[in-house]
Amino acid sequence: MSDENAPNRLLTLAAPAAAALLLSLAMPGPTGWWPLLFVALIPLLWAARRLPPAKSCCMGMFSGLLYHLGLIYWIVFVLNRYGNLHASAAAAVLLLLAAYMAVYMGLFSYFISWLAGGTGRSSASVILLTAPALWVGLDVARGWLFSGLPWMDLGYGLSSQPLLIQAADLGGHHLVTFCVVQINVLIFWLLDRMLSRDKALRRHSLYPLAVFLLLYCVGGYSMFRWRQVEAAASAADQAVVTVVQGNIDQSEKWSPARKEETVRKYFALSGQSFRNGQPIDLLVWPETALPFYPLRDPLMKQVNDFARDRRAHLLTGAPYFNVLPEKKRPVEFYNSALMLDSTGRLTDRYNKQHLVPFGEYVPLRDYLWFVKPLVELVGDFSIGTSSEPLEAERIKAGVLICFESIFPEIARKTAEQGANLLVNLTNDAWYGYSSAPYQSWAMTVMRAVENRRSMARAANTGISGFVAPTGAVIAKSTLFTDAALTESVPLLTEQTFFVKGGHWFGHVCLVLGGMFLLVNAWTKRMRRRNGGRK
């Protein structure tokens, strides 16, 4: 009996570990070996097809747990150092979060096993047709449930290869993920056919031909759009933008004794960009670059004077509050971006719409008793409601604060409302020298391609830089260095298919995945009624 169970034990341990390792090596970070993305899911598919659904689900969850522990390990550092959580409590939060994210890989493996029906003759062909839609549909669910956590979907792993992600302006990063999964499944299908001795399997050869045609069309479109967008960017109106990386120590950022020194450092770094006499259309400082409330701190006058003396529009992050005595909450606090015009006057403001769990609010605080020290430190911020771009003469800046850059819908809405430049203000100092800043940068790159907008990114400690509408990196800084980068970027106004309606691609995959499951359930039921006859 033990010998018979040996293959199953191997599948349930070796296959998920192999998939987790390949995915970890492929994603942005210390390695970033992106070609591994095209084969990383094959061990998972191989095991899921051969295990019963319940075991397949456990196998997938185990793989997802290993993968996400390696993907978001930096949470322990953040919660321990800046949240004052004991290392064991921080590790518990990491384990819970990784386990939650692993559920989706477990569901994927369960559905694949159930759809394939074990070792049935056409099971690999069923996987070929259904797996990409199921994977993307589950990504959509993860990006929506419990406020959403779409951190590093597979498509982001190709962000360093702009020629491979041009189709994102059709269906967003979900379409790129769809193609990555489709290539994995196609290779799996081919391997299955090579190793199989059943000649009857040849009758399903039309399936891979359809997949080849799809991938060929996506590849051809990418090459065409690359050249087209490059030409449009060259002919477009150009704006000179400077992003400043202050490199302010996070542990001292909010010290009242250091706030004036912080502001003067931004003055000094920004001043370097004006020395060559070139006019700057927009100067960008990072998230909460002003470590005080502008409405009540005398330091704000120095900031106003700096913008006026330099005759530059300044976009900077700062905390902000509104006093509303007639409401239940008389004071509302916001994580904001402020636009100052060339006279130093505050002309517009954007309030962050998607707050960071455990950073700007604590979800389920009544139930997560072990994060009590964190609850006492986290601010209770209000949620912004407008995606209107902030204007600086020719520039209409669509603002994304911090990890808002990982939510495609926020960038899409501001592009739809007329933004001709995307600007990401962030503070990634929390993450240290981990892989998180590289992952955050990768997701920011995809927003530029989806909306065909230049992206300017100002981060406190990096990575700061510029991304072209094609997804090509124009310039970027290194981590934990002082920097002021100035570039001329195109101001495109095209409304991409993604902006108009392509953002529904992921939801279509979710619906299709559900339909596949319903049709398969109905088919199995009919077969049972007919005594197993096909």
Q: Which residues of 176-204 are buried (b: 16+ CB within 10 A; e: fewer)?
A: bbbbbbbbbbbebbeebbeeeeeeebeeb
Identify which of 483, 452, 487, 448 has the alpha carbon closest to the alpha carbon of residue 467. 448
Burial class (CB in 10 A: 0-12, 13-18, 19+), 161: exposed
Among 55, 352, 396, 413, the one annotated catalytic:
352
Q: From residue 506, how far is each of 98, 139, 333, 410 by CA, in Å?
A: 23, 8, 34, 16
CA 352, CA 337: separation in Å to the nearest integer?
8
Among 179, 287, 360, 396, the one annotated catalytic:
287
DSSP notation for 284-329: E--TT-S-S-TTT-THHHHHHHHHHHHT--EEEEEEEEEE-TTSSS
Active site residue 409: no
Burial class (CB in 10 A: 0-12, 13-18, 19+), 81: middle
Among 259, 402, 404, 509, the one annotated catalytic:
402
Give the CB-side neighbour count of residue 49, counting CA atoms within 13 A. 23
CA 357, CA 400: separation in Å to the nearest integer?
16
Identify which of 439, 450, 456 has the alpha carbon closest to the alpha carbon of residue 411. 450
Give the CB-side neighbour count of residue 438, counting CA atoms within 13 A. 17
Q: Are 389 and 369 in contact (CB under 8 A)?
A: no
Q: Are 490 and 238 in contact (CB under 8 A)?
A: yes
Active site residue 402: yes
For strands 421-426 and 455-459, give the pairing. Answer: parallel
Strand ranges (E), 387-464: 390-392, 395-401, 421-426, 455-459
Degrees, nearest 5: CA angle 142-169-353: 50
Q: Are 332 and 324 in contact (CB under 8 A)?
A: yes
Active site residue 287: yes
Max alpha carbon distance in the chain (Å)?
85
Contacts with 336 (C-beta within 8 Å, 6 or more apart), sequence order: 317, 318, 319, 320, 349, 350, 351, 352, 384, 401
**Token representation of residue 353:** 């719409």
Burial class (CB in 10 A: 0-12, 13-18, 19+), 216: exposed
Annotated catalytic residues are 287, 352, 402
